[in-house]
Each structure stands twice: as structure tokens, then as C-alpha cells.
Amino acid sequence: MKTSTKIASVMVAATAVVAASVPVAGATPITPDRTAVLQRDADAMLEYGTPGVLAEVDTPHGDLRVRSGFGNVEAGTPVPWDAKFRIGSFTKTYVATTVLQLVGEGRLSLDDKVDKVLPGVVRGNGNDGRRITVRQLLQHTSGLPDYLAGLPDLFTEEGFQRIRYQTITPERAIELAMGFPPEFAPGTQWNYSNTNYMLAGMIIEKVTGHSWQSEVQRRIIKPLHLTNTYTPGTRTTIPNPHAVGYERFPGEGATPDDPKYGEPIDATNLNPSWGGAAGEMISTASDGNRFLRALLGGHLLRPAQLAEMKRTVPTNDGFRGNWPGARYGLGLMYVPNECGGAWSHGGDIMGFKTRNGATGDGSRSVVITFNTDSFKPDPGVQPPATDVSIPLINHALCG
């Protein structure tokens, strides 16, 4: 499907055509000035290359949704107000919460070595589960290589089309990771690796006797009545309503600064098993906000475990380039701002980008979904210096 030409031709008019805001039913109205600021933030994201955007803000003074651009470029329709979308690595926060619940129940310790729970699983090329703790997995200080390095086909158009419906088991993912040497000795540095959370999902299953998906459902999704949140496993579709997820792939001569993206394709349907406990889940903005507010409000973890989750370490230069001052806890990231900082965990997966933030007490939160994770700015537009979502998140939390 060729859509980039149409995207370019309609983005100038997108704000006028489909930009809109609406209070959430039953909520106390938010002031028009505040609504206008958030709407401008949503509109401004279009020039950076997303077909569409939807954001929901939950505050003590009312809830608000804003959207702009297109959920379906061909049809010229907006992102549905109640759109379901792939949340990518936001999955990690649900998984970390489940692990920490097990810690609070005395069934696991953050200082347990991975090899104690999964004997012999992390071994090879210098990787050694006898030297890595559960805490270091959740904190991304294990030094384990990312198994995605062993799936290069995911990141080319031809390769993606070839394997998009294949199943990648957790065992296969860890096998791929063990094909590479560690990035550093455990506990000595920080680097984001999806391998850590694939292992966390395996640990949940070993400790409980149930899949991580069923434990997340039982411990988080059902008690919070997150009726539009899913752990799809190998299911390839997204329940309706949803936007089309567009994906661009790097072209010849691509660099980190200029990926030379080609034409976008429809990447909505795929087998998310390769994401697993590191990134397979589907949700909505409303459900994401309810989860964040419950978590930070102390309704899912005991005080000791919530304190551990919020005990952060420095990230690396690449991460701080997108989120200045970012520090990482256990499945939760802290980013400074003018009103006490945002607690968040975004996610990127083919066709969708999720961003979010919440105050430390969970009283205010915001979830944003874009229907692409491969942004291509309009001609003449410089990419933002930091993550594209930061202005809206800060205005939502600090307004």
C-alpha cells in the first residue's frame, strides 16, 4: 500500500479537518484554555511525521481527550476516541508490577539470582545467570544483550513481511540473546535490553506455574476492570476500534540521524509473540491511565515494593538524549519536569508508539498513542531535540 504521498498532501490540512477534543463522559470540565494548549500540542506532532495522534489526560479536575491527524489515511478518518493499540514496552510496567507482587508475597526476592529460578537458562558467550539478580533484570543493569539483535528481519520491509506472522517463543528469544556476548558486567552500567523482560516473564511462570499473561490478567487487568486491555500471545489482530498502524523502514544509506525512510506500509496485524513479556500487550488510553494511577496511587503494590520500583539509577547518554535527566527504576522511568517529575514507560512496536506520564501520587496522568513508530518529519521540519511527546506530557501534568 502506498500512502506516504497522501500523508504529505493532507497533513497541512489535518488540523482543520480532524483535530478535536472532548471531555470524557461524566468528568468535570477542564478549562477552555487548558484544552486549547493540549490540542495545540497534539496538532504540532503531525509535522514530525505521525499520521495521527490521540491523547487522554486524567486529572483531579476532570478528564480530557484530544486527537489530531488520521487514524486511516486512505479513508481520511481520525483515530477513534476509544482506539485500542499495541502498547509495546509499556507492557514492561505490568510485568514488573507482577514480579514485585510476588516479591511482596515472599515468593521471590529481588536479590535472587536468575539461575536460582531459571537454572541454566542464561548461559553462554560470557552470559551467566549465576551473576545476575532479578533486580538487575527489571532495572536493565544485567548487561544481557538484546535478543532483537538476532532478529534483523524485523527491521527491513522485506524481512518484516516475511516473518511478521511467525511465532517467537521466549525460549527462542533467550537462545538468540545467548548468541551474543554481554554488554557489560552485571550491575556496572545501564542499557535497555528486551531480554531482561522476556526472562522476567519466564520467572513469573516458573514461580507461579502460570503464564505471565494469566498472572497479569488475574493480578492487574481483572481487579482494575481494564476491559480493553489484552495479552494477545500469538493473536495477530487488534480488537476494534483501532487506527491503522503505519510503518516505514530504513532505506539505502540510512544513518541514525537520517533513516531515509521509504513508503509506509500497513503493519497493523502481526504476531506479537516476539515482544512477549517485553512488549506484546494491547490497551487503550483510558485503561493505561487507570493502570498508572492505580500503580502510583499505591493500589497494586505494598509500600516497600512501590518504593523499590521508584528507586532509580542513571540511564545512558542515548536515553537521556530523548528524555533529559531520565532515571530508571524497576519497569518505570522518572523524567524531571517543572512540577515534580513524570513517572512513565513508553513503548514502540511496528505501527504504534505509546507515551505516557503520571505524577508521583498517581493523581494526574496522560497516555498518548501515535499510529506509527517511524516518524518522518515534513520537508523543512527539523526533528524535535527530545522525544516528541514531552511538551504534551508536561502540559498535561503541570498545567
Distance CA 135, CA 305 (A): 12
Which residues are CB-neighbours of 214 under 8 A, at least 6 positions away? Answer: none
Given a contact cutoff of 8 angstroms between Cβ atoms, the answer to whether 65 and 52 are in contact is no
Buried residues in 223-248 as b, exposed as e (16+ CB within 10 A): ebebebbbbbeeeeebeeebbbbbbb
Nearest to 94 by CA among 203, 176, 213, 12: 213
Q: Is 108 helix (H, G, I), strand (E, B) or coil?
A: coil
Mark whether 89 is an active-site residue. yes
C-alpha cell at 239: 480488537
C-alpha cell at 86: 499495541
Residue with cell 501515535: 370
Given a contact cutoff of 8 angstroms between Cβ atoms, the answer to whether 63 and 57 are in contact is yes
Q: How many residues does the chain have?
A: 399
Nearest to 247 by CA among 319, 162, 348: 348
Per the rule left: phi > 0, alpha: psi between -120 and 50, beta: everything else, 88 is left
Given a contact cutoff of 8 angstroms between Cβ atoms, the answer to whether 102 and 208 are in contact is yes
Work out the widest C-alpha separation in the chain, in whole angstroms: 59
Distance CA 364, CA 360 (A): 9
Exactly one of 21, 89, 273, 389 is catalytic; which is it? 89
| Whole-number CA gyration radius for the chain | 20
Q: Which residues are catalytic?
A: 89
